Chains A and B, each alone.
Chain A
């Protein structure tokens, strides 16, 4: 039951054309070490399903993405994600744009092996216009014909692979979160044929101390687990760590400013994204040292 893998083993098991769900929310607890590894991989034509942040942006920048499925892409403290904007404005990606609740219902449907779930969210909005494949259903209860309530049938968001980042995980793939919000990470792993968990710290089985309700991810859904200290950087991930793992706002500003300019982005990619995860962490450490001077 030991599911410990390396970052390269996880990304090496992925294939071009896959539908990949990425946990977290905006610029919060994103499995960035795995995203960075995809960024430097040979994968392409991915469909990325995400409450999007820099994960979507980075993969768009690297030309890895055929389609994004998302209700938004944002860096939270910086509202607009520059790479995603550029990809949309240049027409280099396709987009399935859902309401946030619709998106959750899509994950819930997939996680429970249902073909769809009904909701009011989406009715009357342009979500119905820009996703012409969406269908509505009429309630079989409390009315007939036109009197029966019409609802959006959100199709299951079935994933080939889910990637999530936990504060703690054990070697069997059980995962714990320490922050105030689980986001939808447990739904992502249940909606996926295979799920990989990266974590700030890996512990032995039985050593995931803490309240049982923070045990978010069960090993029954998990294919592999990888320890990536700082692997959520620069997104907000967990209240613990030394230094703490709040969002690295200064570095996020540097990312966003670089992403908005092709020349600056080339320099950023060369400095931070050309090596492996250890090289990234070291480059970020040095950048902070320079900034502190």
Chain B
């Protein structure tokens, strides 16, 4: 069985939660939510996952399916309290992201009179300063990977460093998964680094689609392919309707 690009992305998202143990895997976006549930079904069984709403499901459920038995209740207020508590690793989306992982879901252009009003900052400021944070960004382009985020909703490494060690002690950007590859911030100054490219993607392609200088650290490996069992779980259990392909073109 050969994996599609979307399936590679789901597994790359799942990998974000490896080693996290018994915490909430909060996910925005289809491949991200699939990744959280796949991680729980395979290498990270302690994770807690939701039905996309207020219920912590007893077992990982397919996207959009009824929750089935619940093992916990997490209405929005408790979710917001959990952000402060910290037993949570969130994977968010971003309309803009810069070299140090500052992200924007609020507005494009001047905040006072935006050229394009987006969602608003939502929970991004609190998420990033209180919890480990990763990003799932299906469309990797210079429109999204920009030199500077117009409105900083999610806090990046440079800004966290400015706050000082005490105020930023719960800040931590883990990884960024896109339609082209996987990235982290494992550099001395916390700048974004290319970790791997998905099968069929060239490093030059990633560099060209990125509007800032990406750290390239020697030979860049290929993103790991899904195992047979992972493919079965994605295709037959978690996403039989193929919603993943709507986020990532084949």
Instruction: Of the listed stretches A176-184, A194-202, A255-263, name the one at the interface; the rest are far from the partner chain.
Output: A176-184
A99 within 8 A of B: yes
Q: Are B119 and A80 in touch, CB under 8 angstroms?
A: yes
A147 within 8 A of B: yes
B240 within 8 A of A: no
Q: Are B124 and A85 in touch, CB under 8 angstroms?
A: no
> Which residues in B have their C-beta under 8 angstroms from that of A88?
107, 113-114, 117
> Which residues in A have their C-beta under 8 angstroms from that of B129?
120-125
Partner of B55, one of A122, A126, A180: A180
Q: Are A120 and B119 in touch, CB under 8 angstroms?
A: no
Q: Are B152 and A73 in touch, CB under 8 angstroms?
A: no
Minimum CB–CB distance for A51 against chain B, Å? 8
Given that A119-B126, A120-B167, A124-B168 are contacting pairs, would A104 and B114 also be in contact in the complex, using a CB cutoff of 8 Å?
no
Minimum CB–CB distance for A166 against chain B, Å? 15
B53 within 8 A of A: yes
Q: Are A99 and B124 in touch, CB under 8 angstroms?
A: yes
Minimum CB–CB distance for B93 against chain A, Å? 10
Q: Are B119 and A101 in touch, CB under 8 angstroms?
A: no
A70 within 8 A of B: yes
Complex: how many Å from CA A244 to CA B169? 47
> Which residues in B have their C-beta under 8 angstroms from that of A150?
163, 166-167
Interface residues as binary, B136-176 with A (CB distance below 8 Å gives 1, 0 otherwise): 00000000000000011111000110110011101100000
Instruction: Of the listed stretches B4-12, B31-39, B76-84, B184-192, name the one at the interface; the rest are far from the partner chain.
Output: B76-84
> Which residues in B have their C-beta under 8 angstroms from that of A52?
120
Q: Are B106 and A121 in touch, CB under 8 angstroms?
A: no
A127 within 8 A of B: yes
The number of residue pairs between A and B whose CB atoms lie closer than 8 Å in the complex comes to 142
Q: Are A122 and B119 in touch, CB under 8 angstroms?
A: no
Minimum CB–CB distance for B50 against chain A, Å? 11
Q: Are B162 and A121 in touch, CB under 8 angstroms?
A: no
Q: Which residue of A lies closest to B67 (CB)?
A: A180
> Which residues in B have their C-beta under 8 angstroms from that of A102?
125-126
Partner of A97, one of B80, B106, B159: B106
Q: Are A127 and B125 in touch, CB under 8 angstroms?
A: yes
Minimum CB–CB distance for B60 against chain A, Å? 18
> Which residues in B have their C-beta under 8 angstroms from that of A120?
84, 126, 129-130, 167, 170
> Which residues in B have their C-beta under 8 angstroms from that of A89?
113-117
> Which residues in A have their C-beta under 8 angstroms from that of B128?
124-125
> Which residues in B have their C-beta under 8 angstroms from that of A72?
119-122
Given that A91-B113, A149-B166, A183-B75 are contacting pairs, would A123 and B155 also be in contact in the complex, using a CB cutoff of 8 Å?
yes
Complex: how many Å from CA A122 to CA B126? 6
Complex: how many Å from CA A122 to CA B53? 24
Q: Are A181 and B130 in touch, CB under 8 angstroms?
A: no
In this complex, the member of B55, B126, B166 whose beta carbon has the largest number of chain A beta carbons within 10 angstroms is: B126
Interface residues as binary, A1-31 with B (CB distance below 8 Å gives 1, 0 otherwise): 0000000000000000000000001000000
Partner of B120, one of A70, A180, A184: A70
> Which residues in A have their C-beta under 8 angstroms from that of B117?
80, 84-85, 88-89
B249 within 8 A of A: no
Given that A101-B126, A182-B75 are contacting pairs, would A79 and B80 also be in contact in the complex, using a CB cutoff of 8 Å?
no
> Which residues in B have their C-beta under 8 angstroms from that of A80?
117-119
Q: Which residue of A lies closest to B122 (CB)?
A: A72
Partner of B111, one of A119, A126, A147: A126
Minimum CB–CB distance for A156 against chain B, Å? 17
Q: Are A121 and B163 in touch, CB under 8 angstroms?
A: no
Complex: how many Å from CA A124 to CA B159? 6
Interface residues as binary, B83-118 with A (CB distance below 8 Å gives 1, 0 otherwise): 110000000000000000000001100011111111
Question: For window 200-224 of chain A, which residues contact chain B by CB distance below 8 Å?
Answer: none
Complex: how many Å from CA A79 to CA B29? 12
Q: Are B153 and A119 in touch, CB under 8 angstroms?
A: no
A100 within 8 A of B: yes
Partner of B121, one of A91, A99, A187: A99
Interface residues of B (CB under 8 A from A): 53-55, 73, 75-77, 80, 83-84, 106-107, 111-126, 128-130, 151-155, 159-160, 162-163, 166-168, 170-171
A-B contact pairs, 7 of them (CB 8 A): A119-B126, A122-B129, A123-B155, A124-B125, A125-B124, A127-B121, A150-B167
Interface residues of A (CB under 8 A from B): 25, 51-52, 70-74, 79-80, 84-85, 88-89, 91, 97-102, 104, 119-127, 129-130, 143, 147, 149-150, 180-184, 187
